[in-house]
Amino acid sequence: MKMACLPMEIEHRIQPKHMTSINRHYHITTFGCQMNKTDSERMGGILEGMGFQWSDDPFTADLVLYNTCTIRDLAEQKVYSYLGKQTRRKKDNPDLILIMAGCVAQQEGEALLRRIPELDLIMGPQHANRLGDLLQQVLAGNQIVATEPIHIVEDITKPRRDSSVVGWVNIIYGCNERCTYCVVPNVRGVEQSRTPEAIRSEIRELARQGYREITLLGQNIDAYGRDLPGTTVEGRHLNTLTDLLHYIHDVEGIERIRFTTSHPRYFTERLIEACAELPKVCEYFHIPFQSGDNDILKAMSRGYTQEKYRRIIDTIRQYMPDASIGADAIVGFPGETEEQFARTLELIADIGFDMVNTAAYSPRPNTPAAVWSNQLSEEIKIDRLQRINHLVSQTAIERSSRYLDRVESVLVEERNPKNPDQVLGRTRGNRLTFFNGDIEELRGKIVPVKITDIRAFSLTGHMLTTVSCH
C-alpha cells in the first residue's frame, strides 16, 4: 500500500526478484556534478544499510545503479552505452537489478521504459533518500518510475562517503533560476533549503567521525534560505548563507569550510566580509560567469552584467587579496559573435582565474535556447573551446606561480594513485598538492608544505614538519 503523503509512482508488475540483499553486491557509477556525487553517497549508504556490499566491478554486481547527468549530451549518451552492456548481462541473469537515477531519469521518466525495458527502477534526484522503499517494491516484482515532485525529506541516511577527511553537505536542493541553456530546474525541482539545525547536526556528526573539512553544496548556494520562513528587522531573509557560516563555524573538529556553487545574482559583500572574518572559511570562491558579454548574459537570462561580476571579484580581493577564484564559462552560445567571444577571453585575462570550467554550448531538451534558429556550427564551438582552454591554462599557470617557494598549509586526503610514495591534499586556496609522505601517518592532518614545483592546476613540494591532527 502506498503512503498517502507520497506521490504516486508508476508501477509495472514484473516477476519478483529471487534474491535477498544479504551477500549481494552493488555498484554505482556517477556522472556529472558534485550534487550527484553526494546523492550517490547517500544511496550507497542506503544499500549498505540493506545488506548490500560494494563492488568495484559493475559487471559482477547484482545491482547496478547509474546516477545520471543531462547537462551535456555526451554524459547522457555515455550512460545509454553503459546500460546497453548491462541489458545484455540481464538476458543471462534476469535477477540483475538495473536502476537509472538522477537527471536523465527525471527528464525522460516513463519514456525510458520504452527505450530500455530492462530497467527495474527509474528515479529522479528528489527521490534519492527513498531508494530503500523503492527497491523493496522492485524486489516485490514491481517496475517503478519515481519522478514526481516531492518535498525532500530530511537526510537521515548514513552515506557511504568516498573520503574520510573531506565531507560534502547539501544545504539547498533544486534551482529557481531559468537560464535559457540549463535543464537543471526541470530535473532537480524548485529550491528547498534544509534547516540550519539539520545542517549543523550533520556537520557535528562528520566531525565526530574525524572529518576535518566540509564543503556546503547547492546548485545556487548563495540563494540558501530564501524559502525558509522569517525576516530580519533590516528586511533580509532570516536565514542566509552568511548566517549559516556563522552558525556552523564553531563546530569542534572541523578545520576548514568551503561552499559551492555560487550565483553572481546573490553574492553579497556581507557574505564576502563573513568569509574574510571567519578563520575556518577557505579563501576559495567558485562563481560562474558563463560569458563576458552583456548581450549574451541577457540572452542566457543570467540576471547580472559582466560589470557586476567584475565588482564581485574586486570586492573579494579587497578583503582577501590572495583568494583563489574559480568559474564556469560557456562558449558557442546561440548567436555568439566573434566579438562577444572576445569579451569572454578579455574577462578571463583581466581577472586572472585560478581555474575555469569550460564547455561548448550543448542544446538540452526543453530549454528555450535549444530551439533558437541562431545555433552555431560545431566547428565554431570546437575552435572557441580550444582557444578559451589555452587561455585558461595560461592564466592558471600564472596564478600558480605565486605559490613557488611559499609554505602552504595542506590538508592530507589520500595517497597519490600515480606515486605510492606521495600523498595528496589541498591548500586553503584549493590547489591540489603532492609531496612525499606516509598516508597512514598523515591522512587527515594539516601540514606545512614548501612548494617546489608548479603546474597549471596542481603543485608539488616537500613537508617541513608534521602537525598533529588535533
307-328 average pLDDT score: 98
Q: For residues 400 and 453, what is the distance between their CA atoms, to the nearest angstrom?
A: 9
Does some domain include residue 117?
yes
Q: Are residues 258 and 139 in the same domain?
A: no
Q: Are residues 212 and 344 in the same domain?
A: yes
Write out the DSSP string of 98-126: EEEEEHHHHHHTTHHHHH-TT-SEEE-GG
Q: At 251, is the secondary structure helix, strand, or coil?
A: coil
Q: Are residues 416 and 390 in the same domain?
A: no
Provide the CATH number for the domain around residue 360. Answer: 3.80.30.20
Spatial strand order of the sheet with 355-360 comes to: 284-286, 324-331, 355-360
Write out the DSSP string of 122-136: EE-GGGGGGHHHHHH
Q: pLDDT tens digit string along 397-418? A: 999 999 999 999 999 999 999 9
Does some domain include residue 343?
yes
The sign of the torsion formed by the CA atoms of 378, 380, 386, 389 equals negative
Mean pLDDT value across the chain: 90
pLDDT of 13 over the 90 cut? no
Q: Are residues 415 and 385 in the same domain?
A: no
Q: For residues 424 and 411, what is the distance between their CA atoms, to the nearest angstrom?
A: 8
Domain boundary among 399, 426, 450: 399
Q: Are residues 202 and 296 in the same domain?
A: yes
Instruction: Give the pLDDT score at 114.
Output: 85
**pLDDT above 90: percentage of residues in the chain:** 70
436-449 average pLDDT score: 97
353-357 average pLDDT score: 96
Q: pLDDT tens digit string along 261-298? A: 999 999 999 999 999 999 999 999 999 999 999 999 99
Give the number of domains in the chain. 3
332-342 average pLDDT score: 98
The rounded radius of gyration (Å) of the Cα atoms in the chain is: 23
| Confidence at 33, pLDDT banded by 50, 70, 90 | confident
Does some domain include residue 60?
yes
Domain boundary among 146, 179, 201: 146
The secondary element (H helix, E strand) that includes residue 447 is strand 446-454
Compute the half-sphere exposure of residue 105: CA atoms within 13 Å on the CB side of its CA: 30
pLDDT of 129 over the 50 cut? yes
Q: Residues 44, 159: contact at Cβ < 8 Å?
A: yes
Q: Are residues 363 and 438 in the same domain?
A: no
| Greater pLDDT, 276 or 145 | 276
pLDDT of 155 over the 70 cut? no
**pLDDT above 70: percentage of residues in the chain:** 92
216-234 average pLDDT score: 93
Instruction: Give the pLDDT score at 126.
Output: 82
| Confidence at 152, pLDDT banded by 50, 70, 90 | low
pLDDT of 222 over the 90 cut? yes
Does some domain include residue 4?
no
Beta-carbon contacts of residue 53 (< 8 Å; ≥ 6 apart): 23, 24, 25, 26
Does some domain include residue 73?
yes
| Confidence at 39, pLDDT banded by 50, 70, 90 | confident
Q: pLDDT tens digit string along 47-98? A: 998 899 999 999 999 999 999 888 777 778 888 888 999 999 999 999 999 9
Q: What region, left, alpha or beta, does residue 269 occupy, with left being phi > 0 and alpha being psi -120 to 50 degrees?
A: alpha
What is the residue range of 412's domain? 404-463
Q: Are residues 132 and 171 in the same domain?
A: no
Q: At 452, is the secondary structure helix, strand, or coil?
A: strand
Instruction: Give the pLDDT score at 154.
Output: 59
Q: Residues 358, 393: contact at Cβ < 8 Å?
A: no
Domain boundary among 146, 177, 194: 146
180-187 average pLDDT score: 88
Q: Are residues 195 and 230 in the same domain?
A: yes
Provide the CATH number for the domain around residue 93. Answer: 3.40.50.12160
Does some domain include residue 210?
yes
Q: Residues 132, 50: contact at Cβ < 8 Å?
A: yes
Does some domain include residue 206?
yes
Q: Are residues 81 and 206 in the same domain?
A: no
The secondary element (H helix, E strand) that includes residue 355 is strand 355-360
Instruction: Give the pLDDT score at 18.
Output: 53
pLDDT of 470 over the 60 cut? no
Does some domain include residue 151?
no
Q: Are residues 46 and 112 in the same domain?
A: yes
Phi–psi pair at 164, nearest 5 degrees: -105, 5
Q: Are residues 282 and 416 in the same domain?
A: no
Q: Are residues 335 and 455 in the same domain?
A: no
Burial (0-12, 13-18, 19+ Cβ within 10 Å), 383: middle
Bridge partners for 331 per DSSP: 360
